[in-house]
Amino acid sequence: MPTALSPHNPRLAALRDLLTPRGRRAAARFGAEGATLLAEADRAGLLPQELFATPSGLERFDAGRYEAAGIPVFEVPDRAFARLSDLDTPSGILGIFPLPDRSAADVLALPGLLLVLAGVSDPGNAGTLVRSAEAFGASAVLTTAGTVSEWNQKALRASAGSVFRVPVVQAAAGELAALKGRGVRILAAVAPEAEADPEGDAVSVAAHAADLTGGCALMIGNEGAGLSAELLAIADARINIPTPGRVESLNAAVAGSLLLYEASRQRTR
């Protein structure tokens, strides 16, 4: 039987901290809310350390098998659960998982296609890009400082569970540059404006005309500022997505997904 918790139980105060990056780092845990995310975690072979649910959440969700596996299940009053959720209509079920113990070195050694999120600050964009990375066969996602955490609740939902299966780790510019020594080409995504340097040579190439096969890392920059000068300097080439329509730029998640698709297309044709 689930253990009932009062609204003022210290456990619940500790759980609220998991909504913040600092709280997640300090506890080395994160929360995943909703039956869909819990099912995706289960599909990835991940079980929560603890499960928290409202009375109605327990009715809708089969918590018995978690209890049978020795996982503590706690019943939480609706009002108290609402303070653990960032949803307008809380789902009523929350699993607590340990943060994966991954190092940049482990991920940087993976072969094939890598996606680099360089200062992507919108959680919806970040989560969508992790989802696209899985869909189009990327080995891993690397993030630089300033990129929103993949364990942010909105990012988790936008990833639709892909974050449980695709390795995501933070890497410094020096670690990204070291990829070149492993034969990985670093390709910086830029807007198609300013197509020529002072000598008249093209400074970026359309993605469909670039070679996106073999080992390569696609860098997607911040939604407003793009890629930093430091990251542009380590890139082997700059690529763009031609846009015949009169738009200033593409959404970061759209641009990254299109580049991942083009890389997948080239690799499977």
Same fold, 3-98 and 104-268: no
CA distance 201 to 114: 28
Strands (E), the chain: 3-4, 29-33, 50-53, 73-75, 93-98, 113-117, 140-143, 168-170, 185-189, 205-206, 216-220, 237-240
* Confidence (pLDDT) at 183: 92
pLDDT of residue 105: 85
Write out the chain's pLDDT in tens, 269 residues. Answer: 899 999 999 999 899 999 899 999 999 999 999 999 999 999 999 999 999 999 999 988 888 888 999 999 999 999 999 999 999 999 999 999 999 988 888 888 888 999 999 999 999 999 999 999 999 999 999 999 999 999 999 999 999 999 999 999 999 999 999 999 899 999 999 988 644 454 445 589 999 999 999 999 999 999 888 999 999 999 999 999 999 888 878 999 999 999 999 999 999 97
> What does the DSSP 8-state code read for residue 118?
S
pLDDT for 64 equals 84
pLDDT at residue number 212:
97
pLDDT of residue 197: 53
Contact 188, 235 (CB under 8 A): yes
Residue type, 68: A
Give the tokens for residue 152: 């942010």
CB-CB contact of 217 with 179 (8 Å): yes
Q: What is the pLDDT of residue 200?
A: 47
Tell the CATH superfamily of the 3-98 domain. Ribosomal protein L30/S12 (3.30.1330.30)
Full-model pTM: 0.92
Tokens for 145, please give them.
Answer: 């400082």
pLDDT given at position 111:
83
Sequence-ordered list of residues with C-beta below 8 angstroms from that of 233, at least 6 positions apart, any chain? none
Residues counted in the chain? 269
pLDDT at 106: 84
The torsion angles phi and psi of 58, rounded to 5 degrees, stand at: -70, -30
Q: Give the DSSP per-residue string, 20-81.
A: SHHHHHHHTEEEEESHHHHHHHHHTT---SEEEE-HHHHHHS--HHHHHTT--EEE--HHHH
CATH fold of the domain at 104-268: Alpha/beta knot (3.40.1280)
- What's the Cα-to-Cα distance from 143 to each of 49, 140, 148, 167, rounded to whole Å? 26, 10, 9, 11
* Phi and psi at residue 60, to the nearest 5°: -85, -25
Per domain, the residue ranges of the chain are 3-98, 104-268
Residue 10's SS3 state is helix
